[in-house]
Amino acid sequence: FMMATAHPDDENNGVLALLSKGEGIRTTLVTATRGDGGQNEIGSELFDALAALRTEELLAAHRLDGAEQYFTRAVDFGYSFSREETFERWGRTEILGDFVRMIRRVRPEVVTGLSPDGRGGGQHHQASAIIAHEAYHAAGDASRFPEQIAEGLRPWQASKFYYFAGFEYLFRGTAPPEDSMGVDLSGY
């Protein structure tokens, strides 16, 4: 199982723990950035120091939830109102290649990403969702990122891709889409 997110703190540790510890499934989290463009209301760390702190927080959480942690080379440049700006500043092709590389290395059966929907909030979330879904398709195509194939990685097509329903359903109290699937985390 591979979960793809934009920043540290976007992951669902309950799902990771349920699958890893509860079901014995290999779980991985691929986070696009290390959160170096975020804010810090409880300490003085910013930029690289904040990225190091947030990376260590994720690794500590994974000691409990059992997930493996990976990152792309995307740099968190702070809040963005635009997916296009995010793609441009991250380097869309490069980050897509990083996600493809991780799918080809880990070879998950299921990949999840954040919701691509919504105009509000930081658009890094939506951009990471779009790239993760593109990577899900591209990883199985040997003509995409052929340098990875030359390095010895093999194409891999995961069986399923799911988007997270999104935080808006939790915070606004609205019902998720009818075609959504719930995961009961209360049993573990």
Is 158:135 a contact under the CB 8 Å cutoff?
A: no
Q: What is the CA radius of gyration of the chain?
A: 16
Q: Report angle CA 127, 110, 163 to the nearest 5 degrees.
A: 35
Counting residues of the chain whose pLDDT is more than 90, the rounded percentage is 73
According to DSSP, the β-strands at 110-113 and 2-5 are parallel
Length of the chain (residues): 188
Is 87:129 a contact under the CB 8 Å cutoff?
A: no
pTM for this entry = 0.91
DSSP the chain: -EEEESSTT-S-HHHHHIIIIIT----EEEES--STTS--SSSS--THHHHHHHHHHHHHHHHHH--EEEE-SPPP-S--S-HHHHHHHHTHHHHHHHHHHHHHHH--SEEEE-----SSS-THHHHHHHHHHHHHHHTT-TTSSHHHHHTT------SEEEE---THHHHH-PPPPTT------TT-
Counting residues of the chain whose pLDDT is more than 70, the rounded percentage is 90
Residue 6 to residue 26: CA distance in whole angstroms: 21
Average pLDDT, the chain: 90
112-159, pLDDT tens digit by residue?
Answer: 999 998 766 689 999 999 999 999 999 999 999 999 999 999 999 999
Residue 100 confidence (pLDDT) above 80: yes
Could you give the C-alpha distances from 7 to 54, 129, 173, in angstroms and in order?
Answer: 9, 12, 24
pLDDT band at 97 (very low <50, low <70, confident <90, very high): very high
